[in-house]
Structures are given as C-alpha cells and as structure tokens.
Amino acid sequence: MRWDFPYDSPSQITELLDRHGLAMSRRFGQNFLLSKEIRTRIVSALELDGTEHVWEIGPGIGNITSYLIDSKADITAFEIDRGFISILRDHAFKDVENFTLIEGDFLKTWESVLAEKGTPDVICGNLPYNVGSVIIGRLLEKQVLPKKMAFTLQKEVIGRITGESDTKNWSTLSILSQVDFEVKQLFTIKAGAFYPPPNVDSAVILYTRRDTPLVPDEKRELFFTIVHDLFSSRRKTMRNNLLHGSLASSLPKEKIIDRIEQSQFDPMTRGEVYSIAQLLELTDLFLD
C-alpha cells in the first residue's frame, strides 16, 4: 500500500518537512504542485496502460509519483534532495514494488540507468526550472526517444520548444525537440497551484514521438553540426556562421562557399529563418 498523504495541503507539507528537519530549497528549483486536478491531468496525458517503464525526474515527496505508481507502470524516479530521498525511500513508497529511486543529480545518474534498463517508454516531471531545458536538451542530444514525455516548465522555455522558424523562439531546443517529436503545450498553470508559488508563468508540454523523424539517421550528424553553427551567433549571416563553425573544420572553406553559391540559398540570410525542411536542404549541399 502506498502512502496516502494530503499533497494538496501546504500546511501538512510544512508540518511533514518540519517533522523531518527539512526545508524547501531554491537551489534545486523546488515548487510543489499542489493542485490534484493538475497532477492527475499530467498523468492522464501520458495514457499509461500499466506496461510501461516510466522515468520521473524530480519526484519531490511524491505528489505526481503516487498517481504514476497507481497506474501499475514500472516507475524509476530521480531525486537529488537528500531529505526528500529519505521521505520517499523510508516512508512514502517504502515497500512499493513498482517504484525504484535513483538518488543524486539526474544529469549525473541517467546515463547509467539508461545503459542498464534501456530507453524508458515515458519520461515526465515537474522539472526544476533552473535546469529544465538542460535536462531536455541532454536527453534529445543523446537521442533518448521515449513514446511520450510530459513536463511542467516555465512558459518561456515551452515557447522555445514549440517555437516556429523565423521567430525569436526558434532555437536549437525547438529543432532538437521537433525533429523527433510532435510538441504541444497542453495547458497553463497558475502560480497559486504551486507551493511556494514560482515567480514565472508555467505550463505543461507534451512530446509525442514521431513515427518517422524529420531528419533521416544518415543525415542527422551533419544536420545538427549545421544547426549548431547557424545558431552559434544568431546575428551573423548563414555564410559567416558556416565558415567559422564546426562544418569548416571538416570541409575546406572554398568548398563551403562554392556549394552555397551554387544553391538557391541566400548566403546573407540569417540561419534562424530556416525551417527544418530548409535546414535539411542546406545539409544536402554538404553531404559528400
């Protein structure tokens, strides 16, 4: 039997933390999601049937985790805070069979869990806002591609994930996300739904893996070399970024200039205007 704790009550949470001599830490981006309705909406969006292996990043004291556990899926949760770890391990989910706790910094622990247990079917979490985009970027760069991912994040980061080409939100994070996933902001969350309330607006993003990625495997490495070059200095032209980035370390500059001049691309355009389809055409120029 799992713990039945009133996760929607700030006073009970404070009392629990006091009893264990713990306090919330700003350093670890700790804002507990109180609203039961929102916690259940996040878990429902994952459409779990109980057969999945699920990673939860930053379970805190288990307010979303408890619903994940109820789904019967196999849950692996990654938590950095020693105090929360002891609550999860010794109290909340002590003898729960479908719950495994990985202690420490997710950014340092996830790769060994991946190597041991393989890619999870689902990843979720009310992410610590200070490292949320870093966590997502790392997973995507290493091509960890679960069927679904759902995260609570500040709206500004979700704007960058769902951004479109030729807007200020279009970034390497948008491209990394959209090559392999359809991304959709599900709903916004008012600050008052958290304890303590964050001073930024929040929302939930859903990633759904595409059947076929927008960039074929054999072009992926070159595609992302070009993307990183183009976004290394957003104010520079496409030509300048390509001549002074990683592409130029594997291809002679004359060849780069030649290929651009023979194409329909305007070398003086800034790279951030290109859609994924256009970036793929640009990649094709340098394939051999």
Q: Does 3 bind ligand SAM (CB under 6 A)?
A: no
- Told to check if 106 binds ligand SAM by CB under 6 A, we report yes
Q: Nearest distance from residue 65's CB to ligand SAM, in Å?
A: 7
Q: How many of the other CB atoms lie within 10 Å of CB of 222?
A: 20
Which residue in the set 13, 16, 33, 123 belongs to the binding site for ligand SAM (CB under 6 A)?
A: 33
Which range of residues in 14-22, 45-53, 124-132, 279-287 is near ligand SAM by CB under 6 A? 124-132
64 scored as a contact of ligand SAM (CB under 6 A): yes
Q: Classify each residue of 140-153 as buried b or exposed e, where b means 16 or more C-beta atoms within 10 Å of its C-beta.
A: beeebbbbbbbbbb
CB 125, min distance to ligand SAM, A: 6
The pair of structure tokens assigned to 144 is: 């960890």
136 forms part of the interface with ligand SAM (CB under 6 A): no
Q: How far apart are CA 47 and CA 49, in angstroms?
A: 7
Collect all residues with Cβ–Cβ distance below 8 Å to 120 and sequence separation of at least 6: 52, 53, 54, 55, 76, 146
- Taking CB under 6 A as the rule, does residue 32 contact ligand SAM? yes
Which residue stretch of 102-110, 137-145, 156-164, 218-226 sits at the interface with ligand SAM (rule: CB under 6 A)?
Answer: 102-110
DSSP sequence for 6-67: -TT-HHHHHHHHHHTT----TTTT--EE--HHHHHHHHHHTT--S--EEEEE--TTTTTHHH
- Convert residues 69-88 into a mask of x (bound to ligand SAM by CB under 6 A) and - (unbound): ---------xxxx--x----
Stretch that binds ligand SAM, among 66-74, 126-134, 177-185, 211-219 (CB under 6 A): 126-134
Report, in Å, the least distance between residue 182 CB and ligand SAM: 24
Q: Are strands 32-33 and 194-195 parallel, antiparallel or unpaired?
A: antiparallel
Q: How far apart, in whole angstroms, are the C-alpha atoms of residue 166 and residue 189?
A: 28
Q: Which residue is nearest to ligand SAM (CB)?
A: 58
CA distance 156 to 171: 12
**Cα separation, 256 vs 245, whole angstroms:** 11
- Which of 17, 22, 85, 107 is close enough to bind ligand SAM by CB under 6 A? 107
Q: Please tell me whether residue 132 binds ligand SAM under the rule CB under 6 A.
A: no
CB-wise, 90 or 166, nearer to ligand SAM? 90
Cβ atoms of 276 and 214 within 8 Å: the answer is: yes
Instruction: Out of 48, 52, 54, 60, name the contact with ligand SAM by CB under 6 A.
Output: 60
3-class secondary-structure state, position 147: coil
Q: Which residues bind ligand SAM (CB under 6 A)?
A: 28-33, 58-60, 63-64, 78-81, 84, 105-107, 126, 128, 131
